[in-house]
Structure 1
Amino acid sequence: MTNAVGPRAVFGVIVPSTNTVVEHDYWRAGVDGVAFRAGSMHIPDPTMAGDAGFEALLVQIRASLDTAVRDALTAEPDRMVMGMSAETFWGGVEGNAAFEQRMRERTGLPVTTGAGACRAALHALGVRRISVFSPYQPVADREVGRFFTEAGFDVAAITGLRCPTAMDIARVEEPRLREVVAEIDRPGVEAIVQVGTNLSFVGLAETLEAELGRPVVAINAATLWHALREHGIEDRVTGSGVLLREH
């Protein structure tokens, strides 16, 4: 249901309580007439060191997801956007499809997920061979790689920053991001993909595209692009990468 600050669309955005980046990236894009209402998943223990720690974090996300969705729905949004990504990649293509179906049934709304948005973005960009990085631990990187492989992409490299806590994701600075992109920028790679929504990468992705001469897809730009285009909003956005600027 649109309102005075969102006459074109109101998007419900589901984020972990530790996430400070998603809403910033969406509002920074400055799409006139589009508003966002966050539903927050309570994360009492943000530790995600090692595979066991990361899986324990996912348990917290799954336990609080329905409450976050419930809260966002009180703003009567037009679409639900998942501002959390690891869970949307879990279980590969079938896992993502099942997650999206559960969310549609739960909300009665169209749904944008990180995994689905990245797949659509790469198709729109016309690329197949990709390298991927995340803030995650190996267990999650395996699931991300599985999704992209099952979706028909050639994954040349995938690596994680191994952030020890969920808050540390938002503390990764530009030199480290540049370093990891350089590590995975292999011969023949047509696009770099970043996942992990609390990683601040949208602005740097635009800069790196100019430097590398190829698309660099930041997941927060991909989910915003997908939500807008699926909702029939074709505004071209500058400063957030080629996807929002030209597609």
Structure 2
Amino acid sequence: MTDVLGWRKIFAVLGPSTNTIVQPDMEALRPAGVTNAYRDIYVENAQALSDASFMAGTAKIGDGLSDALRTAMTCNPDYLVLGISAISFAGGKAGCDRMVGEIEAMTGLRISVGSRALVAALQAYGGIRKVAFVSPYYPAANADVRGFLSDYGFETVRDIPLRRSSWTDIAQTPEDLLRRTLRDLYSDDVDAICQVGTNMSMMRLAAEAESWLGKPVIAINAATYWHALRVNGIKDRLEGYGRLFTDF
């Protein structure tokens, strides 16, 4: 028997309980025959964040992942999608490989995570070595992103941590701030611009910015869902979300 709505694939999408962006973002990208079973990772809404409290908060989210995975597995999904990017960059390539290995051993399923998906997206565009990125993070978490990208041979020319004040404040990041930040990141010596932080809505802006910046602009939620689809052999093209969904 086949799920009547998820006749191609059932994705279990996991994100922090404070995250209000991942679920609608990934629903917007979902093709017919694929369903997204969204499952919360419980976390308190951390306030007045700093380098130390941001890193401690992301560690708590990682601690809650196992419980969310157990809940997700009850719907008998075909594939897993992780809707939090910070923990996937921690510890570089080795740290991500370890986390993914533990998840796959626990569930018997494969998973798309933001850090690996971002690398796959950069590789799909081709010819990219120097990047810049924006995050809602604090500097310590941006250092994790730089380290992860370096492990795959990408040089970070510049990065901007927006230092949002709480988990839910990330979802309230104004678009005009993101537009200014993209222009601040732009330079001739940058091959691509990326956005990390899954609770910061930037898929549509990133797609638009590719036209006025003339460079690849990759939003983490778009990259993660694109990766999940392509790994599962789903090649549907989608307009309005950048070259990832139209060209690759």
Give TM class, smaller chain.
over 0.9
Q: Secondary structure of the residue that 1:87 maps to in structure 2? A: helix
Q: In structure 2, what is the equivalent of residue 178 of structure 1? A: 179
Q: 1:199-243 CA distances to partner (integer Å, 9 max, x unpaired)? A: 000011111011111110000000111000000000011111111
Q: Tell me, in whole angstroms, the C-alpha distance in 1 between the residues paired with 2:35 and 2:45.
A: 30
Q: CA deviation at 1:45?
A: 3.7
Cα distance, 1:47 vs structure 2 = 2.6
Q: How does 1:30-179 map to 2 (within 5 A)?
A: 30-47=30-47, 49-126=49-126, 127-179=128-180
SS for the counterpart of 1:238 is coil
- For the residue of structure 2 that corresponds to 1:171, the secondary structure is coil
Amino acid aligned to 2:170: I
2:41 touches 2:68 (CA, 8 Å); kept in 1?
yes
Q: CA deviation at 1:48?
A: 5.9
By how many angstroms is 1:59 displaced? 2.8
CA contact (8 A) 1:47 1:54 kept: no
Contact preservation (8 Å) 2:18, 2:44:
no
1:4 aligns with 2:4: yes
- 26-35 vs 160-169, greater mean Cα deviation: 26-35
Counterpart Cα distance in 1 of 2:81 and 2:2:
16
Percent of aligned pairs with the same residue?
A: 39
Distance 2:154 2:6 in 1: 36
Amino acid at match of 1:121: A
What's the C-alpha RMSD, in Å, of the aligned pairs?
1.2
Q: Offset at 1:182? A: 1.1
- The answer on whether the counterparts of 2:112 and 2:227 sit within 8 Å (CA) in structure 1 is yes
Write the distance in 2 (CA, Å) between the matches of 1:168 and 1:50: 13
3-state SS of the aligned residue for 1:197?
Answer: coil
Asked if the contact 2:14/2:68 (under 8 Å) is kept, the reply is yes
CA 2–204 in structure 1, closer or farther in 2 if over 3 Å, else same: farther
- 1:110-143 deviations in Å (ceiling 9; x for gaps): 1111000001110011122110111001110000
Give ranges in structure 1 of 5+ residues lacking alignment: none
Code of the aligned partner of 2:79 = R
Match of 2:216 in 1: 215
What CA distance in whole angstroms lies between the structure 1 residues aligned with 2:113 and 2:168?
21
- Structure 2: any 5+ residue segments left out of the alignment? none
